[in-house]
Amino acid sequence: MKFSFMSFSCPEASLAEVLEIAGRFGYDGIEPRSQAQHRHGIEIDISDAQRREIKKRFEDSGIDYACIATSIRYNFSDTGKLNENIELTKQFISLAADTGCRRIRVFGGMPDIEGRTAEEAIDIVGNALGKVKEAAEQYRVYICLETHDFFSRADLAARAVRLANSSFVRVNWDIMHPFTMGMKIEEAFSQVKDLVAHCHVHDGTYDRERNVTLALMGKGEIPYKRAVQLLKGIKYDGYLSGEYIGAWKPDVVLPHDIKVLRSYMSE
């Protein structure tokens, strides 16, 4: 397993500065968040020259390009919006290939109409993923559907991914969200263990209504030690990528969480 963090930890940092932060705290890679006005500059509208420069900057830094996190979602009844996001996915696949990245994160998304069933949502999202798999396979870029929003339960995300029927359509296991939905770590893992290509990590505490507040790793209620043990058991060689949105400064959370996660790996 390797360690990365999303640029939400330092949204005002340039790409060079994010890479320096990663090196300083011992991270293997970074996960730029696109479509969020972060200063790293990794967006679909950049030029060919800028794409070559980004690829070279990663190569020279020794820090890996773990994933591009996007805002793309597919759970639309509006075919215009759905097709727009399918085309946007293809553009991000091209961006990833040009800049040297092998993964992009996408969402299923919440329904745009009331009353949509899980079966209907799985069908919409799974078929949308099926329409981008050819580009993913051509460029060898993994599309990673996150366990999030309507697809927070790991079984729903896994079913949509399997419907696409491609080794390049995989799951981004955000370990918090299925747990928040009441799934035990072992239950969620059993759904994604054959599909997981990326993981998001962030600990948290819960109130009586299961509303979550981010916590430093090991200070919350989510059994990450067990999640790491399970991932070790399948020889997962992808990333545990820290996603900390507006919670702490980089020099607080990044050294702390990587230290705790490494201790889980060594046990």
DSSP string, 196-253: EEEEEE-EEEE-TT--EEEE-TTSSSS-HHHHHHHHHHTT--SEEEE--SSSS-HHHH
CATH of domain 2-266: 3.20.20.150
User: What pLDDT score does 72 carry?
Assistant: 98
Provide the β-strand partners of residue 242. Answer: 5, 201
Confidence (pLDDT) at 267: 85
Count of residues for the chain? 267
Output the pTM of the full model: 0.97
What pLDDT sits at residue 246? Answer: 87
DSSP string, the chain: -EEEEBGGGSTTS-HHHHHHHHHHTT-SEEB-B-SS--TT---TT--HHHHHHHHHHHHHHT-EE--EE-------S-HHHHHHHHHHHHHHHHHHHHHT--EEEE-----SSTT--HHHHHHHHHHHHHHHHHHHHHHT-EEEEES-GGG-SHHHHHHHHHHH--TTEEEEEESHHHHHTT--HHHHHHHHTTTEEEEEE-EEEE-TT--EEEE-TTSSSS-HHHHHHHHHHTT--SEEEE--SSSS-HHHHHHHHHHHHHHHHH-
Q: What is the pLDDT along the chain (267 residues), one digit of tens a residue?
A: 999 999 999 999 999 999 999 999 999 999 999 999 999 999 999 999 999 999 999 999 999 999 999 999 999 999 999 999 999 999 999 999 999 999 999 999 999 999 999 999 999 999 999 999 999 999 999 999 999 999 999 999 999 999 999 999 999 999 999 999 999 999 999 999 999 999 999 999 999 999 999 999 999 999 999 999 999 999 999 999 999 998 999 999 999 999 999 999 998
Res 227: pLDDT: 98
Phi, psi of 227 (to 5 degrees): -60, -45
| Residues 19, 61 contacting (CB under 8 angstroms) | yes
CA distance 75 to 151: 10
**The CA-based dihedral angle spanning residues 103, 5, 201, 139, taken in that order and rounded to the nearest 10 degrees:** 0
Q: In this structure, what token pair is assigned to residue 73?
A: 């979602």
Domain borders along the chain are: 2-266
